[in-house]
Amino acid sequence: MRTLGFETTTGEVIAGQDLTGRVALVTGASAGLGVETARTLAGAGATVYLLARDRGRLDAALDTLRAENLPGKLESALLDLADLDQVREAAAGLLRTCPKIDILINNAGVMACPLGRTAQGFEMQLGTNHVGHFLLTCLLLPALKAAGSPQRAARVVNLSSAGHSFAAMDFEDPNYRQRPYDKWQSYGQSKTANVLFSLALDARVAASHVRAFAVHPGAISTELGRHLDQEDMERIAAAFPGGKMSFKSVPQGAATSVWAATAPELEGKGGLYLEDCQIAQPAADGVIGGVHPWALDEEAAERLWQLSQEWVGQEFAA
């Protein structure tokens, strides 16, 4: 039995796995963890669709990976999660080309940005990190169900964060219409939403052989920090023992996503929050990491599912 943990890399997770014939989609594949996740899956033979909102940045990522002569096929499609019309358009195109989707990695994200609104008026972090991914995933369910089998379920991986510790869902004012905007509370709420969505989705579709997981990748130096200033960095560091953050490399950071998407030991499981290539423990006082109870609250998960359906104006049957 292999021992996986904080330092495990994508290469170690994927070693010995052959993904030939499988189709994987990765959102936010123009930077950071998304590119490494796509690289690893294509490196094991999967056909990988890189999805991102900016054609130039997407093409640059695609060129980088194509130059590596990976065994898997690389495709791409534009997807702007901050515009539900675009999400619908992207999903329709993907369903036309991918009748079966084995792996969907909802990796794209924004963190601690100034108050902004998506095309349909959702607060930017909740709208991008949760609402756009909710709609994309639900629209792609027919292809995920078509790929899943009793022997091997299709998997949906939602990138959450230890930042879910900053906030539970505020069902009274999720989009900051009345309360003052706080960029960290908002990030925390959106990352709690990613876990709740994983729970509700898994409960609905496990019987159709589609399983969902939430992942905290670790702290990795990527472009995610583009909105942070020195004060933010000091506040984050202060939360770590001795005031020093323990960073992961990008291959270490993407390892838990790849583990969630492919690990044979997770077959038959779902609705779990994972970190360091392990099923996370409940968060404990004074310890960094773990999953907080508000993110595993089944009632909140159901309430968010219903609200998300209202937001996107569509109901999704199990």
Active site residues: 160, 187, 191
For residue 315, the minimal CB distance to ligand NAP (Å) is 24
Closer by beta carbon to ligand NAP, 146 or else 236: 236
Binding residues for ligand NAP (CB under 6 A): 28, 30-34, 52-54, 57, 79-82, 107-111, 128, 159, 161, 216-217, 219-220, 222-224
- The set of long-range contacts for 113-119, using a CB threshold of 8 Å and a minimum separation of 24, is 113/183, 113/227, 114/183, 114/227, 115/176, 115/181, 115/183, 118/82, 118/83, 118/84, 119/82, 119/83, 119/84, 119/85, 119/86
For residue 225, the minimal CB distance to ligand NAP (Å) is 7
Adjacency order of strands within the sheet including 103-106: 74-78, 47-52, 23-27, 103-106, 154-159, 210-216, 272-275, 278-279
Exposed (0-12), middle (13-18) or buried (19+): which is 247, by Cβ within 10 Å?
exposed
CB 54 within 8 A of CB 103: no
Give me the residue label for tokens 């534009």.
Answer: 78
For residue 79, the minimal CB distance to ligand NAP (Å) is 5
For residue 224, the minimal CB distance to ligand NAP (Å) is 3
Measured in whole angstroms, the distance separating CA 214 from the mean position of its chain's CA atoms is 7
Closer by beta carbon to ligand NAP, 199 or else 206: 199
Closer by beta carbon to ligand NAP, 31 or else 255: 31
Closer by beta carbon to ligand NAP, 70 or else 193: 193
For residue 238, the minimal CB distance to ligand NAP (Å) is 16
Q: List all residues 6 or more positions away from 229 whose beta carbon is below 8 Å from its beta carbon.
A: none
Closer by beta carbon to ligand NAP, 52 or else 272: 52
Helix axis angle for 32-43 and 255-262, nearest 10°, is: 40
